[in-house]
Structure 1
Amino acid sequence: MASSTITYQKVSIKYGILVGIVHIIYFLIMWALGVLDIVELSFISGLFLVIGICLAISNFKKAKGGVIQYFQGLGIGATVGAVSSSILAVFLAIFVSAIDREYLAALQASSFFPEGLSILSLFVLTILYGTVPGAWIAFIAMQWFKNPDHTMTDQIK
Structure 2
Amino acid sequence: MTTMTEKQPSVGAAALKWGFIFGLIGVVYTLVLMVADLMMNPWLSSLTYLIVAAGIAVAMKNYREENNGFMSYGQGLGIGAIVSFLFGLVTGIFSWVYTNFIDTEYMSRMMEKQRVQMLEQGLTDEQIDAAMALTENFKGPLTAIFGSAIVMLIIGFILSLIIAAIMKRTRPEFE
Q: CA deviation at 1:45?
A: 1.2
Partner SS state of residue 39, structure 2: coil
Partner of 1:124: 146
Paired with 2:53 and 2:97, the residues of 1 have a C-alpha distance of: 26
Query: Would the aligned equivalents of 2:22 and 2:52 in 1 still touch at CA under 8 Å?
Result: yes
Q: Which amino acid letter does the alignment assign opposite residue 165 of structure 2?
A: Q
**Structure 2 unpaired stretches of 5+:** 1-5, 119-131
Partner of 2:104: 101
Select the structure of larger CA radius of gyration: 2
Q: 1:73 to 1:103 in 2, by over 3 A?
A: same
Over the aligned positions, Cα root-mean-square deviation in angstroms equals 2.5
Paired with 1:13 and 1:26, the residues of 2 have a C-alpha distance of: 20
> What is the aligned counterpart of 1:72 among 75, 84, 89?
75
Q: Which amino acid letter does the alignment assign opposite residue 6 of structure 1?
A: P
**Amino-acid identity (%):** 21
TM-score for both structures, normalised by structure 2: 0.73
Partner of 1:25: 28
Paired with 2:144 and 2:43, the residues of 1 have a C-alpha distance of: 16
Partner of 2:85: 82
Q: Residues 76-113 of structure 1, C-alpha deviation per residue, up to 9 Å, x if partnerless?
A: 000001111111111111111101223323168378x9
Q: Which amino acid letter does the alignment assign opposite residue 16 of structure 1?
A: G
Q: CA deviation at 1:5?
A: 6.1
> What is the aligned counterpart of 1:115 among 109, 125, 135?
135
Aligned length: 146
Paired with 2:158 and 2:35, the residues of 1 have a C-alpha distance of: 31
**Structure 1 unpaired stretches of 5+:** 150-157
Partner SS state of residue 67, structure 1: coil
Q: 1:107 to 1:122 in 2, by over 3 A?
A: farther
Once superposed, which parts of structure 1, at least 4 consecutive aligned residues long, lie more than 6 Å away?
none
